[in-house]
């Protein structure tokens, strides 16, 4: 029984230490509210991430295996569908928190459209 407990705890510790750091950092988030011609409440929520500089390899010296591996694994939001999806999921969570804090769309909401720019995602929708 003790061995099982020790095995579970060590597995948990290893799992916690291998969680990758966040690949992007939110720079700002903005909630725009309006009422349309029909009197319905609408919103546009924009989340922008900080710019990630491009990773470049030195051209005047040989590249090590470690540097080559880091270069191959390096991703930017602007170029990575996986990171864009992660940013979109993060934006949905931030939208939930912001709408709650602002007491907007208290009966619920629907996201109608998602628009992408280089470093930002915009969620547009309406209140129920």
Unique residue bearing structure tokens 């040989």: 62
CA distance 7 to 2: 8
Taking 50 as the threshold, does the pLDDT of residue 121 lie above it? Answer: yes
Q: Is 114 helix (H, G, I), strand (E, B) or coil?
A: strand
Give the pairing type, strands 109-116 and 41-49.
unpaired
What would the pLDDT profile of 49-94 be if each residue is shown by its tens digit? 887 766 565 667 776 666 656 655 566 666 678 888 888 999 999 9
* Segment 3-26, tens digit of pLDDT: 444 444 444 444 443 334 457 788
What's the token pair of residue 52? 């990630």
Contact 122, 115 (CB under 8 A): yes
> How many alpha carbons fall within 13 Å on the CB side of residue 40?
11
Q: What is the bridge-based pairing of β-strands 120-127 and 109-116?
A: antiparallel
């Amino acid at each position: 029984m003790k061995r099982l407990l020790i095995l579970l705890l060590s597995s948990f510790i290893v799992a916690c230490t291998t969680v990758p750091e966040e690949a992007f950092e939110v720079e700002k988030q903005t909630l725009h509210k309006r009422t349309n011609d029909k009197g319905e409440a609408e919103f546009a929520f924009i989340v922008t991430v900080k710019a990630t500089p491009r990773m470049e390899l030195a051209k005047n010296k040989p590249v090590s295996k470690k540097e080559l591996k880091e270069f191959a694994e390096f991703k930017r939001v602007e170029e990575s569908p996986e990171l864009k999806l992660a940013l979109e999921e993060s934006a949905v969570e931030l939208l939930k928190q912001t709408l709650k804090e602002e007491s907007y769309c208290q009966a619920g909401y629907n996201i109608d459209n998602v628009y992408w720019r280089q470093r930002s995602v915009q969620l547009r929708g309406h209140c129920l």
